[in-house]
Amino acid sequence: MNRRTWTLLTSVVLVVAFGLLGAFVRVPYVALGPGPTYDTLGMDGNVPVIGIDGQQTFPTGGHLNMTTVSVTDQLSLFGAMGLWVSGRYALAPRELYFPPDKSEQEIEQENTKAFSDSQTTAETAALRYLGYPMKVLVGEIVKGSPADGVLEPGDHLLAANGKPVTDPTSLKAALVGTKPGDRVEIRFRHTDQPEQVASVQLGPNPGTDPQGFLGVAAIERPDVNFDIKISLADVGGPSAGLMFTLAIIDKLTPGELNGGQFIAGTGEISPTGEVGPIGGIPFKMVKAREAGATTFLVPAGNCAEAKTQAPEGLQLAKVENLDDATKALDALRGGQVPASC
């Protein structure tokens, strides 16, 4: 074969090799893009996304859509380039979403737990906002602490050291002035059993606090006799909290909280109603607008990014807490413009 033939043959081999590499070799990146959006006032299949049993609910209208980000893994070089060139996706290092020290099962479990926790927190924030009574429960118990083996997660805390436990901070306040070795009485109720009193010897505090150590993280939950169930499959993370909270409020109060409009949004919520920033807001806004949303509730911490990338026709409403969110919806119902980013 002459030089020209060798050159042609070599070029063909290189093109084939590059094609195989581009088509089959995985790159250490994931693609982030617009994910599904769900109406928290609507249905997931034949089941309400939010169902309330044992309490009067009221008709709702319009939409209160939660939004998500899709994460595409196991990308080939050509696949990654194609998604990036489309303009709808961004590439990010895979290790940020799939840490090498964790299995995919562990990551999925963490995301599922975060989503479940956001549902519980949304219920607490909504019912607190509506004025329902609260109770203090045992959350996590430090292994090997004085409370370990005496109390169980979910126990209803009533009093500690002779002082009523009315909120999580009151438990710590009840132990002020104690020291390691002191005995204190804890009054509590386990599930539906009668009240119990346990005498606990406090231990040394693992931090710098000199007071005695019980080893309980107290949490606050609604003290109500009805059930709220959130049913949404294959969704993870905490960022749906705000929209779940608003939907619960809407269902438990007369009238349409959104004025019958198509509202979407995002944001992690705390039990006391603070709204925290989230990731991927440009993708969430894109999907919300494509689905028909006219207003998007934006956590204050995401406003700088959101206002530079908002799709045309999508109005932004800045929210730092649940009160801001309800005021924004009040403004929209009255034909006014809510506080924006």
pLDDT at 4: 53
Look at residue 56 and tell me whether its pLDDT is greater than 90.
yes
- Check residue 238 and give its pLDDT: 80
Q: Give residue limits of the domains in the chain.
A: 33-74+103-131+226-334, 134-222
pLDDT for 5 equals: 54
Residue 257 has pLDDT above 90, yes or no: yes
Instruction: Give the integer Cα–Cα distance in Å for 91 and 31.
Output: 5
Residue 340: active-site member: no
> Looking at the predicted structure, is the pLDDT value of residue 214 above 80?
yes
**59-68, 101-110, 129-138: lowest mean pLDDT where?**
101-110
Class in CATH terms, 134-222: mainly beta
Measured CA to CA in angstroms, residue 29 lies from 21, 32, 74, 100, 309 at distances of 15, 10, 8, 13, 23
What pLDDT, in 10s, does the model give residues 161-190? 999 999 999 999 999 999 999 999 999 999
CB 33 within 8 A of CB 283: yes
pLDDT digit string, tens, across residues 315-329: 999 999 999 999 999
239 is catalytic: yes
Query: Are the beta carbons of 72 and 90 closer than 8 angstroms?
Result: no
Q: Measuring CA to CA, which residue among 113, 167, 103 is closest to residue 135?
A: 167
* Higher per-residue confidence, 312 vs 9: 312
Question: Is 78's pLDDT higher than 90?
Answer: no
The catalytic residue among 239, 251, 287, 318 is: 239
Whether pLDDT at 24 is above 70: no
Q: What is the DSSP track for 183-213?
A: EEEEEEE-TTSPEEEEEEE-B--SSS--S-B
**Per-residue pLDDT, 324:** 97
Structure tokens at 329: 């919806």
Q: Whose CA is closest to 145, among 91, 234, 53, 213? A: 213
Higher pLDDT pick, 13 / 75 = 75
Q: For domain 33-74+103-131+226-334, give its CATH number from 3.30.230, 3.30.870, 2.60.40, 3.30.70.
A: 3.30.230
Lowest mean per-residue pLDDT among 28-42, 49-63, 204-218, 238-252: 204-218
Beta bridge partners of 137: 156, 219
Average pLDDT for 11-29: 51
Catalytic residue among 118, 145, 251, 284: 284
